[in-house]
Amino acid sequence: MNKNESISGLILAGGRGSRMGHVDKGLQPFQGSTMAAHVLARLAPQVASVAINANQNLGTYAAFGVTVWQDDLEGFAGPLAGLETGLRRCATPYLLTAPCDSPFLPPDLGERLFAALEAQDADLAFAATQEPGMRVQAHPVFCLVKTALLPVLSAYLAEGGRRMDGWYKDLKAVEVLFEDVDAFRNINTLDELHSLDPTRPPRLADVTSCLSAYDPEALPVRDAQRIIREFVQPVGAVEQVALRAALGRVLAHDIVSPINVPAHDNSAMDGYALRGDDLVLDGDTYLKVVGTVYAGRPSDAAPGPGECVRIMTGGVMPEGCDSVVPQEFVAQESAAGIVLRAGTLRAGDNRRFAGEDLKAGSPALRAGKIIRPADLGLVASLGIAEVPVVRRLRVAFFSTGDELRSIGQALDAGSVYDSNRYTIYGMLQRLGCEIVDMGIVRDDPAALEAALRSACENADAIITSGGVSVGAADYTRQIMARLGDVTFWKIGMRPGRPLAFGRIASNGRSAFLFGLPGNPVAVMVSFYFFAREALLRMMGADAPLPLLRARSEGAIRKKPGRTEYQRGILSHGDDGMPQVRITGAQGSGILRSMSEANCMVVLHDEQGNVGAGDSVDVLMFEGLV
Ligand code: AMP
Ligand code: MG
């Protein structure tokens, strides 16, 4: 491998990572560092110097010790924008590019492209590979370009050209075949990334470094939700349970139908099964009745032309019949025959097809579904007695605060009864968690540490309330931080704001931690909007909060720039449409208005004042898991 002093390297990291959920691809953690750092390590020895083209997280890239160049061209984050920027700033006669998501790029990339370019007196050289029996695949993002070609590229871009392999169509370009196909593998999805680097559980910093602007002191709700979503991991373990016991649990694998449901074509009505061809379109139809088919009783009735069979709902359609006339539509009826008026029936009416509900071999239920009563019935209709569900999530929780008293204790001056213990219990119970109720823990470092350690050793997740706000005794935060990877946020929301989140470890066991604020309403809001989805994800379920739209009865004052949750009462207006009004005092400690409410009005970050009659998002309490 030779260093070529006439070549500058350029790592293309300007994309928006749209296939990775809009994370910054180059900064994705990969095998001990980040993807872009791997590319840098492989490119640097080949060239005089390396620069990175990026449009976000510029400081993080600069910390690699390289020059960072932003696109000059606005509104287009494709690789050509980066290339143009690079050519414009490049101080050597050649520029070599590589994408930030190619951590395995060949160590002789520059050397071989340069040799081919010189040998053929070309303007540009790019890499290609060929798998056995396949066509040659070009990799135009791995290319060596003469810096002097800047005007050609600029002209192409000015005309609206955007394709990496389109701009050099009138130039002399050489394709250089490389043997190692994997060296050009780029990583496009987070799943791909994790499958290549399964060794390490993610750290919070890995996740937060991908946000384009991360400020723990002023974190928007949706960023907090995203960090939590990406950080928590499903427990994975599966258990087989009897069908009834699966109610409310999360299905661990798809359930594939072993049979057609229904198994046979059958009648949807009580009436007469007939041949559609026999229907007279412009006059009465006379049909002779030749037998009766009951549901569940096989029959060998096989009516010929001009004949029909009396049939009950669910009865198997006799051979040759394709329609059923409901008995109330029959004009005349006797043991011998029936008369139908013209237009009573169309051929094919009231026949249910075999497999109409479910076809054999097709998935009846998908993994990740929370099993509801209809699902129990569906599984039963397939004759399946047991189903695989994700094991119950164990969640330990406790309340913190010296002022807290348990029910049954005397309420001395300045103390309050611990209500969070009960709301949290209720919310966890609804989620179907296995609950470890640890009661009240005093504001005392040793007691807190012991409680957190015990929770960690006995549960998958820990929920605490109180002690995470700024005014609270600091050691709660200190101890949480000492036991693991925990971050403390001030979230742009009301009520709520302080939240501790992360993972702590003790004696080789670890658990995800949600340190909720202490105020009784804040605790519920934080649970519903942060902990709930995370716990469901750990259980393998994907169940976003079911928000619906309703008309606001009155005006609501709202500051843009933070999310507000107001307690509301949803009802129906005179026009039958859902409408909502705010209820009671909205202070974050006032649980009574939470209890009076039947929903929460969600006013998102960007939303300003709400006018009477405007639509708002609403989260219903009933039906919420
Ligand atoms: P903290 O977050 O610990 O500063 O608590 C904020 C407020 O919530 C204080 O007024 C506490 O008394 C109250 N609080 C904290 N925990 C509970 C609880 N478990 N039940 C009822 N109120 C609580
Ligand atoms: Mg407290």
Ligand 1 pocket member 403 (CB < 6 A): yes
The pLDDT of residue 616 is 98
Cα(545) to ligand 2 centroid in Å equals 29
Q: What is the torsional sign of CA 214, 219, 223, 226?
A: positive
Q: What is the torsional sign of CA 196, 200, 202, 204?
A: negative
Ligand 1 atom, smallest distance to 517 CA: 2
Cα(416) to ligand 1 centroid in Å equals 9
Cα(255) to ligand 2 centroid in Å equals 47
- pLDDT under 50: residue ranges of the chain: none
Ligand 1 pocket member 404 (CB < 6 A): yes
The pLDDT of residue 195 is 66
Cα(582) to ligand 2 centroid in Å equals 28
- Measuring CA to CA, which residue among 394, 302, 311 is closest to residue 349? 311
The pLDDT of residue 49 is 96
Cis amide linkage into residue 544, ω under 30° from 0? no
Tell me, yes or no, if the pTM score tops 0.85.
no
The pLDDT of residue 272 is 97
Ligand 1 atom, smallest distance to 400 CA: 16
Helices (H), 484-617: 520-526, 532-538, 591-596
Ligand 1 atom, smallest distance to 399 CA: 19
Ligand 1 pocket member 401 (CB < 6 A): yes
Cα(521) to ligand 1 centroid in Å equals 10
- Measuring CA to CA, which residue among 609, 605, 625 is closest to residue 218? 605
The pLDDT of residue 18 is 65
The pLDDT of residue 133 is 83
Ligand 1 pocket member 467 (CB < 6 A): yes
Ligand 1 atom, smallest distance to 467 CA: 3
CA distance 30 to 190: 11
Per-residue pLDDT reduced to its tens digit, 541-552: 988 899 999 999
Integer angstrom CA distances of residue 376 from 48, 97, 384, 431, 540: 66, 56, 10, 18, 19
Ligand 1 atom, smallest distance to 403 CA: 12
**Beta strand 434-441 pairing with 394-400:** parallel
**Atom 3 in ligand 1: residue holding the nearest Cα:** 466
DSSP category for residue 181: G
The pLDDT of residue 78 is 84
Element (H, E) at 477: helix 475-482
Ligand 1 pocket member 418 (CB < 6 A): yes
Residue in the structure block whose two tokens are 């390590």? 41
CA distance 56 to 24: 8
The C-alpha torsion from 250 through 393 and 226 to 39, rounded to 10°, is: -100
Cα(602) to ligand 1 centroid in Å equals 23
The pLDDT of residue 194 is 64
